[in-house]
Structure 1
Amino acid sequence: MPRSRRVAATSASRRRLSRDRHGRGMRSAVTGPHLPPLRTRIDEFDVTLASTAAYLRGLWPDLEGVAFQVADAPAEAIHDDHVDRWRVYHDERRIVFFRLPIVRFLRTQEGEEKDERLLVESCVFRAVADFLGRDPWELAPGRYRHL
């Protein structure tokens, strides 16, 4: 006995919403049940920024209570001579990092992609140095000294 069109359309739309493939049920995660889920580039950016900020807080007690925030991009980021990658608010004790300018504008001219973790860490060091009124190389004394 043929189905009516109304029932077929309803079951097809329901099938599309649940992503049930050929009646086999939902797909499992790409990484499988025993592996952690994949991290995105945004997650990697946030983890790198947070770990670098935690390292610097351990070295500098002046950073106690300073908020490190991430935004995609500022409203007015492009100026005549530079692009804002972070903004320091001394009176509010917070530093806002702009993810898109950091990731996209800090790549080399030839199209080679540098290690993004290193780029994010250098931006955090420079922003904290700007907040503290110091040189970025002064933030971790002895760390860059060769034995």
Structure 2
Amino acid sequence: MVRTRRSGSARGLARDRHGRGIRAAVTGPLLPLLRSRADLFDMTVASTAEYLKDLWPQELSGVSFEVAGLPSDLGRSSGVDRWRVLADERRVILYRLPVERLSRLHRYDDLHRRMMIESCVFRAVAELLGKDPWDLAPERFRHF
């Protein structure tokens, strides 16, 4: 059944209740806007991709990094993909929900979630380049 909107309602686009004007952000004008898990995932993927593009400029030129919620072929295989590499199209697609929900972290904090997302980006790029993930940025992991 298709629902139609009433002609006088612009609900969802902008709300102007009782002539008071458009609502402000929940955090107010002095605090930064709240970020969702999806926003943090997107920012982590983008920053990690830029880091790797700076390290491997020739190999990763023209590669696009995309974020999707779930794989489109969910249920056809025994497992759930966390990323997909399309080498002929020069695309890397990371699936947010499997990475966030199926990863078993020993600590559930922002740092460990970010490290899990970064490791998925590293492993996907390593698959694209045919290298070991540890060989992509060996100096990054030498803290001693």
The counterpart of 1:135, out of the listed 111, 132, 139, is 132
Q: Quick one: distance in 2 between partners of 1:25 and 1:64? A: 47
CA RMSD of aligned residues (A): 2.5
Deviation, 1:26, is: 4.9
Correspondence 1:51 to 2:47: yes
Aligned length: 131
Structure 1: runs of 5+ lacking an equivalent: 1-12
User: Would the alpha carbon gap of residues 26 and 89 (structure 1) be closer, same or farther in structure 2, given more than 3 Å must change?
Assistant: closer
Q: Quick one: distance in 1 between partners of 2:70 and 2:87? A: 20
Largest Rg, 1 or 2: 1
The counterpart of 2:62, out of the listed 58, 61, 65, is 65
Give every structure 1 segment of 4 or more consecutive aligned residues whose post-TM-superposition deviation is greater than 2 Å.
16-28, 77-80, 112-115
Correspondence 1:113 to 2:108: yes
Q: Percent identity?
A: 57
The counterpart of 2:34, out of the listed 20, 33, 38, is 38
* SS of equivalent to 1:143: helix
* Aligned AA (1:144): F
Q: Quick one: distance in 2 between partners of 1:96 and 1:23? A: 45
Aligned to 1:29: 25
TM-score normalised to structure 1 length:
0.76
TM-score normalised to structure 2 length:
0.78
Deviation, 1:60, is: 0.6
